[in-house]
Structure 1
Amino acid sequence: MPELLPPVVDPDRFAATPQPHLSGVDGLALRPWAEADAPIVYRAFQDAAISRWHVRTAESVGQVRRWIERWRTAWSAGNGQWAVTVGDEVAGRIGLRRSDLGEGHTELAYWTLPAWRGHEIAPRAARILTRWAFEDIGFDRIQLTHSVHNPPSCRVAAKCGFVLEGTLRGAGRHRDGYHDMHLHARLRTDRPGVR
């Protein structure tokens, strides 16, 4: 059955172009992950705060190399993952996932390495990626979810103008069971700084 509406985001924006490097201020930038980053990602997943909120664990650097390859492959479907860097040092990760190019929706996900917490890494990276996704790509809606037991992630969402739309009951499976999840979102039509 033919679609009545064209996709909101042209799939060629991803499939036919390489993943970009995105620059911010104060030396913060987003770049595609490289195979050489595997030891950094492996160490990140040994951190209790990162591993608590993820349903996967990194068992080896080789396993992480395979993740990075999948992250690079997922770009063509609109699911980009970036290393967040300050100067030449990796400070965290940010990415788009569960992208629906037809509807113009995507989801934001992020983490920050322990040494960089308290330096506004996640909010600064989220602002860069959100601006690019709305202005350069044309997404209409970006959302993020996090466990109600994860207040730091809630603060990141609020700092970036992601409105708390509600609580999804029992929607997030974690190692200790299902968690209620906060749902935050921004629309392309929202004014900057909308809360």
Structure 2
Amino acid sequence: MTAPVVLHAPATPASPALVLRPWRTEDAAALVEVSGDPGLRLWAEPGVDDDAHAARWVRVQQQGWVTGDRRGFAVLEVRPGPVREQLAGSVVLKGAAPGRPAAEVGYWTAARSRGRGVAPRALEALTAWAFETFGADGLERLELLHQVDNPASCRVAQKSRYDFDGILPASPPAFPHDGHLHVRRASA
């Protein structure tokens, strides 16, 4: 059995250090807590409503590691004190496999962690890991998609050096608005 993947992003003046690690069953309660945020529900899954739904969502993330279809990470802020880790968000790598030149990244941030650089730092850690891990197998680019009416995601993409690549047509009901495609190449 291989060791679990754990990624780190250093602290900044505005935000504590981050630890990115695969989702665990014990993360379900924190997932329910942050999922009540209307802003999160507007732009991203998980949209979980209770402990049972959160447990199922976490199992899907864990199964993604087993199948290799998706590699989801809980993003935790590390603070001194009795509660050392607090759920700040999630990042995911979808579709990375040997021989595939492209994969997709996604993320969401808990309301209490927004505006402090958590999403760009977590995305940067995931991006570096993805190219380091899958680059020798042919991964050349990562794609980040979001709806055009989500300017915060555009800012995260820009801060993370994902270049705007084009407009994607709406695909209702899941994507009722056009989308932006941002790309980061391995050479960037």
Using the size of structure 2 for normalisation, the TM-score is 0.84
Amino acid at match of 2:5: P
Deviations 1:92-113 (A, max 9, x none): 1111124354313211111111
Residue 19 to residue 167, structure 1, CA distance change in 2 (3 Å): farther
Unaligned runs of 5+ in 2: 12-16, 79-84
Structure 2 equivalent of residue 21 of structure 1: 6
Separation in structure 2 between the aligned mates of residue 56 and residue 28 of structure 1, nearest angstrom: 20
Q: Take 2:38 and 2:142, find their aligned partners in 1: how far apart are those partners?
A: 27
| Paired position in structure 1 for 2:129 | 132
- Alpha-carbon deviation of 1:24? 1.8
The question of whether the paired residues in 2 share the 8 Å contact of 1:146 and 1:181 is answered with: yes
Could you tell me which runs of 5 or more consecutive residues in structure 1 were left unpaired when the two chains were aligned: 1-15, 191-195
CA shift digits 1:105-130 (9 cap, x unpaired): 21111111111111100000011110
- Which residue pairs with 1:116 in the alignment? 113
Q: What percent of counterpart residues are identical?
A: 33
Provide the secondary structure at the position in 2 that maps to 1:103.
coil
Aligned partner of residue 177 in structure 2, secondary structure: strand
- Corresponding pairs, count: 173
Structure-to-structure mapping, 1:14-163, within 5 angstroms:
17-26=2-11, 27-54=17-44, 57-76=47-66, 77-87=68-78, 88-138=85-135, 139-163=139-163
Paired amino acid for 2:161: G
Q: Aligned in 2, Cα 1:55/1:116: closer, same or farther, shift over 3 Å?
A: closer
**4+ residue segments displaced more than 6 Å:** none
Distance 1:33 1:107 in 2: 18
Q: TM-score, normalised by structure 1?
A: 0.82
Structure with the bigger RCO (C-alpha within 8 Å, sep 6+) is 1
